[in-house]
Structure 1
């Protein structure tokens, strides 16, 4: 539950003004509903009594009827605005949550980030964020609006009718509602959580079965997989049925509570009428207001019924929203060497303008070393300007170090958009970068920087896609450029041009490249072979 409270605070603090506007209109809707029914009940009773005693012609029907029309129209307009603003506030809060969540994942190591490519993990994250929209729409706003409405209605009834009627309504609704919601929460947390978990497992299992259907058919295990999915579906249906039963039971108890409180308010008004403390028309106001307050009470059951789903989602999301603890990271120590390596058998001190080629057998740890230097995974014995990579502030580290891995990502869009993922650049800067990686002629043949690529860079060959990613790295103008197999898949002439262009584009940068071939190129002033 503490995780859910943390997420609730994060969502509310995302845009407090938007939340306040939505909550104000939610309260306005409930207050207008209570006032509308109370005034209507008073008006009907008063006009009936005026007719009975023969003074109907002298009774002022215009102002009460005008009030009824005003409240009816105002309630409709407020309801529209409430829907609009509460959903706007929720979407703003979820957008802020997604940004915070992505920042949390950005602090993860390379292995964790690699796991995010799994469709199961991505589906889980999306579902968790979607589940948390109920924290605002079905818990925080309805509870706050109901509490504030009951408080304001209490004082209004004390003024209009008297303390006994107001006290009966407050004393009936608050403890009764608390008991009903508490019982519903206890009955619904487990089935709500199970329904969500089994639904996710069913979705992942279905995707996996469709993806691996050929292998399952060849292995003759398709019936077993289908049976397992049917079992998951049955569990999900059972949990959903139990959840529905709990919610329906709570709705029935709330309806009984509304009827009991309304009758108690009616009896309290009757006692005041008998004691001649109020008139007949005023005595029935409590009855109608108690009935109107059902609008504030009944929607609460939906949020409590989904509490298990929200708690589970918050428990998974909240750790990613926590800020790092400990000593604050440092930006740099300018007097220290640019890069100091005392790891994996290396003892090197590298300065700006140097170029190091790293070779070695496959699996020896070349890529791991690059990930450690870039701060994507933990590693000892590495200092950038005197500070370990993981102790840098993220923006400062990315301004110094740029890594171009073997499998860099391209997206559907124009070539210009792919090059400008890390920041805006002029066309002159983009042209210089693609010339440096020997890609200018290929880009021109496709139609220039505005030509479009498909998903994942479809439309480019493997070598062209690699060079486009290299150009994007050059545009960052880092002090340390890390390259993992930059010439893989390129012919000798193109590889020569690419390495020469990279050095010319960043003459002052420290370049470290993992190379299986081409380590003897002239731009490298040192070659190191990693040993096991």
Structure 2
């Protein structure tokens, strides 16, 4: 698990190229707050002075200043919004692209969880800048300027103001963050679970109805929604209590400042100015409370995002240069149990995958084949035994250094509502058209691409394609990624036997000396594999070689 500080550092790496834009936005935000504070002080001085009916010429400078600050505050706020959002959207675009590439390299266990990461979790990166860091920086600068100005008027009054701002601007925000952190740690996983429920109900409506499982899934979704609402209501109540305390303490600070100023013999006009300015400065504490609270709420999302972020990509498959054919994967007594009251999905699995080894996994539905692939990708961790890569546990594998080492065509491979080219470029953003077409030919989609081109749109999840075309396009993307260990889950599903054998042979020829793990129900076309594992009930029932395949009708 990435720590909170490490997650923030990893995310803010993407802000560094835009640092001067953010500095400008921060200064504009500070100018906006300073203009608001100055407007309150100047307007108070103008009203208090005008009550004595001095000559109009004595008020002219204050009148112009009030108008300038009123107009300037709105202009500064508008320009600050443009500058900050322009910078943060550039940053978030890069973050989304990196997460997109990471999810292609290492698909998560559930696609709805990926959706949560791509949408709500990545929005936390935007909130970190717009709603946390910039407000804190602006409020801090203005608070320092306010105390410095009060110091010029009277040191004792400045000390009282400083004490009040430390309570409302530091102590209470820290309390708000601590209270929010207790409840907000559950928000991100609850939202992800609710997203999974929604996807299951919408996209699986027909299957759920056919098996009579819709009421169960609706009840689970309603339970997650109720729990999410309960946590949010608890956070709202705590937020209200802290906000009320900050408002009340702001009034107390204003009274203390005024009493101190009176004891120091300051003129009555300046008493009013200091009191109102203190109230205005206290308003900054509310923005700090909101920033601290939001910072605590997004910690979970930032950690989830940071887990998928690494250093900027430079390699062909979206990361640093991969060591050619050197990754050695091993499963030793690996077991997975999804529920304590259910049989294990996998039990005591041993598998050796040195570079270049080809292993086929066969067995009936529910035998544990997809769970085995999830173990290899690191999407799930073994409950017993171990999964290691070159001696390193796969759950702690250095994916920032070797991204895309273990990936491929899994059962939930997703096609986006974009062109064939865009879907393929997810695997290798810098690939040429020739490389894209070559990958399609390897996957048996060459003739179709020659006819329709790379710019034809495939529809939502490949809805504009036939089942076989959709599968081959997803396979072409896996081939283009060229990972060191290619995982294939029924890659030729939807193809006739002859075409399926031809596509599989082409993919294996393309792989050369890189490893392949194939999950399939078919025994034909497996002569090229070094080992065949027969899974049933989560256990390896048989291990075969080429002779075993031929003996069993392959």
Q: TM-score, normalised by structure 2?
A: 0.67
Match of 2:341 in 1: none
Counterparts of residues 48-447 of structure 1 (less than 5 Å): 48-49=51-52, 51=54, 56=55, 59-92=57-90, 94-95=92-93, 98=96, 113-117=107-111, 119=112, 122-123=115-116, 126-131=119-124, 133-159=126-152, 161-181=153-173, 184-185=176-177, 188-190=180-182, 222=215, 239-273=231-265, 280-306=268-294, 309-314=297-302, 332=323, 403=408, 409-421=414-426, 422-428=428-434, 430-431=436-437, 434=440, 439-445=445-451, 447=452
CA distance in structure 2 between the partners assigned to 1:156 and 1:486 by the alignment: 71
Contact preservation (8 Å) 2:105, 2:403: no
TM-fit CA distance, 1:154 = 1.5
Whole-angstrom CA distance in 1 between matches of 2:180 and 2:436: 57
Q: 1:100 to 1:510 in 2, by over 3 A?
A: closer
* 1:287 Cα deviation after fit: 2.3
The question of 1:31 aligning with 2:41 is answered: no
Aligned to 1:448: 453
Q: CA deviation at 1:33?
A: 1.8
Listed one character per residue, the Cα deviations across residues 477-502 of structure 1 (whole Å, up to 9, x for unaligned) are 78997766665554465457546766
Give the superposition deviation at 1:468. Answer: 3.9
Q: How far apart are 1:148 and its partner, in Å?
A: 2.3
Partner of 2:525: 519
CA distance in 2, matches of 1:443, 1:430: 10
Distance (Å, rounded) in 2 between the aligned partners of 1:202 and 1:375: 23
Judge which range, 145-154 or 131-140, deviates more.
Answer: 131-140
How many residues end up aligned between the 2 structures?
498
Deviations 1:314-351 (A, max 9, x none): 5655555589xxxxx995489x9x99999999999988
Determine which structure has more spread, i.e. the larger CA radius of gyration.
1
Determine helix, strand or coil for the equivalent of 2:298.
Answer: helix
Shift of 1:441: 3.9
Root mean square deviation, CA, Å:
5.3
Structure 2: how far apart are the matches of 1:233 and 1:407? 25
Partner Cα separation in structure 1 for residue 352 and residue 186 of structure 2: 54
2:508 and 2:206 mapped to 1: Cα distance? 49
In the superposition, relative to structure 1, how do residues 214 and 173 fare at CA in structure 2: closer, same or farther (>3 Å)?
same
Aligned-pair CA distance for 1:461 = 3.1
Provide closer, same or farther for how the CA distance between residues 72 and 497 of structure 1 changes in structure 2, counting only shifts above 3 A. Answer: same
Structure-1 separation of matches of 2:201 and 2:369: 36
Q: Cα gap change, 1:268/1:403 in structure 2, threshold over 3 Å: closer, same or farther?
A: closer
Farther-moved stretch of structure 1 (287-296 vs 96-105): 96-105
Write the distance in 2 (CA, Å) between the matches of 1:441 and 1:153.
Answer: 72
Local SS of the residue matching 1:21: helix
Gaps of 5+ in 2: 312-319, 333-348, 534-541, 544-554
Alpha-carbon distance in structure 2 between the residues aligned to 1:93 and 1:491: 46
Q: Which residue of 1 aligns with 2:342?
A: none
Structure 1 residues 366 and 339, CA, compared in 2 at 3 Å: closer, same or farther?
A: farther
Partner secondary structure for residue 248 of structure 2: helix
**Structure 1 residues 137, 366: closer, same or farther in 2, change over 3 A?**
closer
Deviation of the 1:264 alpha carbon: 2.9
Q: How has the CA–CA distance of structure 1 residues 38 and 175 changed in structure 2, closer, same or farther, with 3 Å as cutoff?
A: same
Select 2:467's aligned residue among 435, 438, 462.
462
Q: What is the CA-CA distance between 1:115 and the residue it aligns to?
A: 0.9
Range with bigger deviation, 129-138 or 389-398: 389-398
